[in-house]
Structure 1
């Protein structure tokens, strides 16, 4: 296959008209996924957009402006954020998000000093793959509940109307994923949400009161300047030392909920960087270095924790945009980050997002959560993990049943190791103590030093 020519290199600056168009394209590519995570976890979508933009700008600084990657809300942390919020409120989720950022920073330091082999021993594909499957399947009931039941009621009440909206949204998203081409193929989630929203309007299940309030405030402003000011509003930030005392919220349950997930998403981050290196024809894992890239993720996640947003991660959707446009300019990515920050302060955007029915998000989630689980299976296949080997079969089986089954260890009245965290910990322990570790590495493409070449196999293990 003939290699496509690069349209714009990493440090090329486009003319402003083209700059705006290209940046908006990146914004739309990440928009659906980024707002879905806070919608599911009870956090503010506006804050998620702002923290996504600020996190991306910080990432570009940390990586010396050498990696054109956009960062958005991570799907892997949905269940841990819900658990932390249930235990300690939104502040608990933010403490957990900060801890995840610290883990990124610690791993980046160790990779810079020791290389990747130590991480390979702890998190080979035979452990990471099944844990990713658990992350996806563990959220399955959430997607179905959102799709089938009337929201806001103490008891589950089945609604055929809501389920029809969810199935319609799912169908449109699938059609966009399979049949659309070019840029439209990169935004199936956004297309599904918009289509489902319109269908839900005709079904009468959309509450547009908040949108009407915004338009009323704009219309009654009395002047052009007043209308412009009315467009903007401050999102619901959750700020440490202002809204809560971090030390009062901090507890062991939050640590056990978030830290294991951070280790798994770091493995996925490496896969994303390999794909991006392949697409751009550059070796980002060596220059500016994988340690800087992971540190950039960590800094972006810490910024999110100071504002009330979910953890950030590099987005496969935006890598897809880079692949199609062949525009690798970090200035274009930075422009998308600025637009995301702007959107977060637009009250009409926030009101529209908050009016999306849960059935619409549930329909999209049916596909997305299944894709997460399938990506775990893909990791096993891509790394050629032999499940006829009894050791591999044992590790995968135990991780899946403990994680999906919801097993937990109660350490005290307020502290337990549950579900995905427990399955990850047991998976790591089994991998370390059982003989025949080589079989768990497969072909080792995800972590092996040879993978640092841009000629290596590409593995897109993105969990948004």
Structure 2
């Protein structure tokens, strides 16, 4: 793979090349971004729009110096489902807004206090097992979507649906392992498209909505009717318009979302380090980690005002940067604009809505396992010693409480459950038990020595 830069961060490509490169980034994040709203009952079209607007705001806050695309966060799938149960879809939006507030508070603290305080709260021995809980806690959701007929009150096994899920899984795995270049970065999208086609032949795809949308377009008698048929307003969920935020705010929603937000912030820092190494610039110092985290928080708040899931930086797009060596923020911004446009196209929305749950279930089997494996990888990369009794105790308690679904009932409408409880327990144990140094391991999670030699470019800018 070539390590030479093709296009620098501030370079603007010519229009035709600009569109193609932006489409490439859009396709890289498309599959993952629509999967989160699909699983949580939110609108995929709104998720696309909020990810696009969130990315544009992120680029603005970071002064156009970090080429990062933001999409739907997998870590918040279970909390969003829990918040929706506590306060309906509006409850999920309140939780999403609170997650954005947490990002903002942490950004301010990092700006004035530095990073060490956050590492004391969330060392790898806490973050790694919690990430494992995030993945394994969603395992039953993936299996239910894969095996059972959707829309029924009781689980009814379907061999047809399971075959669709397994076919989708097989194609996704094959694309992940054997495809190279750009196609190796979009195995999720390839799996969804292949599974969708297979599902059509199995007779489990309802194409009525797509047919209706296409009929509206083809029957248009004027330019106005054509545009009306193509572009449609998604199902936004706007505060003070569709619901009163204060009516659904609750302590349960806070306890569901806030602990997970702290964990995803640690993941965000890891993403920024990887991105810094790929581009060869220290983004943690310039424009600064506080700006990056604030940008992520503002993007998440924007999503909450529209009815979308929380946003986060996407590994798929970091992979695209790594392969193409095109670091232009204009390309990232173009992908954001295209995502917004796609969200308003009725046919695209109809196609997404018609994807069978079995297809998404097949993809989810791999994705949720990868999330759990990434938690394990964090422990390995940071060389956390699990033969140390302290580390073993913290990891064990987090895993069993989180995966087992333990909860503390504080009142009739307030409980600390599952993932949130496991994160809180992990933080408390890490702060209480002696020998905190062992929880950091011997790795380089926050070591930017690999990019110090390139810092002179930023200093000269």
* TM-score interval, smaller chain: over 0.9
Q: Is 1:283–1:452's contact at 8 Å kept on the other side of the alignment?
A: no
2:206 is matched with which residue? 207
1:462 is matched with which residue? none
- For residue 50 of structure 2, give the secondary structure of its aligned residue in structure 1: helix
Deviation at 1:114, TM superposition (A): 0.7
1:180 is matched with which residue? 179
1:425 is matched with which residue? 424
2:364 is matched with which residue? 365
2:451 is matched with which residue? 454
Separation in 2 of the partners of 1:445 and 1:417? 33
- Counting only pairs closer than 5 Å after superposition, residues 294-373 of structure 1 correspond to structure 2 as 294-373=293-372
Deviation at 1:220, TM superposition (A): 1.7
Q: Is 1:140–1:369's contact at 8 Å kept on the other side of the alignment?
A: yes
Deviation at 1:5, TM superposition (A): 1.2
- For residue 416 of structure 1, give the secondary structure of its aligned residue in structure 2: strand
Separation in 1 of the partners of 2:200 and 2:422? 41
Separation in 1 of the partners of 2:221 and 2:277? 54
Separation in 2 of the partners of 1:34 and 1:353? 11
1:82 is matched with which residue? 81
1:235 is matched with which residue? 234
- For residue 435 of structure 1, give the secondary structure of its aligned residue in structure 2: coil
Separation in 1 of the partners of 2:433 and 2:325? 46
2:151 is matched with which residue? 152
Matched, 1:117 2:109: no
Separation in 2 of the partners of 1:422 and 1:44? 28
Matched, 1:220 2:222: no
Separation in 2 of the partners of 1:273 and 1:150? 41
- For residue 386 of structure 1, give the secondary structure of its aligned residue in structure 2: coil
Deviation at 1:454, TM superposition (A): 1.9
- Call closer, same or farther: CA 1:423–1:11 in 2, change over 3 Å: same
- For residue 151 of structure 2, give the secondary structure of its aligned residue in structure 1: coil
Q: Is 2:282–2:452's contact at 8 Å kept on the other side of the alignment?
A: no
- Call closer, same or farther: CA 1:452–1:311 in 2, change over 3 Å: farther
1:194 is matched with which residue? 193
2:291 is matched with which residue? 292
- For residue 256 of structure 1, give the secondary structure of its aligned residue in structure 2: helix
Separation in 2 of the partners of 1:414 and 1:223? 54
Deviation at 1:443, TM superposition (A): 1.8
Deviation at 1:451, TM superposition (A): 3.1
Separation in 2 of the partners of 1:98 and 1:354? 25
Deviation at 1:226, TM superposition (A): 2.1
Separation in 2 of the partners of 1:338 and 1:265? 25
Separation in 2 of the partners of 1:437 and 1:455? 28
Separation in 2 of the partners of 1:451 and 1:83? 37
- Counting only pairs closer than 5 Å after superposition, residues 69-108 of structure 1 correspond to structure 2 as 69-108=68-107
Aligned residues: 453
- For residue 441 of structure 2, give the secondary structure of its aligned residue in structure 1: coil
Q: Is 2:237–2:307's contact at 8 Å kept on the other side of the alignment?
A: yes
1:394 is matched with which residue? 393
1:56 is matched with which residue? 55
Separation in 2 of the partners of 1:90 and 1:453? 44
Q: Is 1:133–1:375's contact at 8 Å kept on the other side of the alignment?
A: yes
Per-residue CA deviations over 1:230-256 (Å, capped at 9, x if unaligned) read 101000000000011111110000000
Separation in 2 of the partners of 1:8 and 1:409? 52
- For residue 448 of structure 2, give the secondary structure of its aligned residue in structure 1: helix
1:461 is matched with which residue? none
Separation in 1 of the partners of 2:45 and 2:126? 35
- Call closer, same or farther: CA 1:18–1:105 in 2, change over 3 Å: same
Per-residue CA deviations over 1:109-135 (Å, capped at 9, x if unaligned) read 111111111001100000000000000
Deviation at 1:225, TM superposition (A): 4.2
Separation in 2 of the partners of 1:329 and 1:26? 11
What TM-score do the two structures reach when normalised by structure 1?
A: 0.96
Separation in 2 of the partners of 1:193 and 1:116? 39
Q: Is 2:282–2:448's contact at 8 Å kept on the other side of the alignment?
A: no
Deviation at 1:53, TM superposition (A): 0.1
Matched, 1:268 2:256: no
Matched, 1:7 2:10: no
2:252 is matched with which residue? 253
Deviation at 1:453, TM superposition (A): 5.6
Separation in 1 of the partners of 2:314 and 2:2? 23
Deviation at 1:38, TM superposition (A): 0.1
Q: Is 2:168–2:363's contact at 8 Å kept on the other side of the alignment?
A: yes
CA-atom RMSD, angstroms?
1.1
Deviation at 1:223, TM superposition (A): 2.7
Q: Is 1:399–1:423's contact at 8 Å kept on the other side of the alignment?
A: yes
Separation in 2 of the partners of 1:154 and 1:276? 45
2:163 is matched with which residue? 164
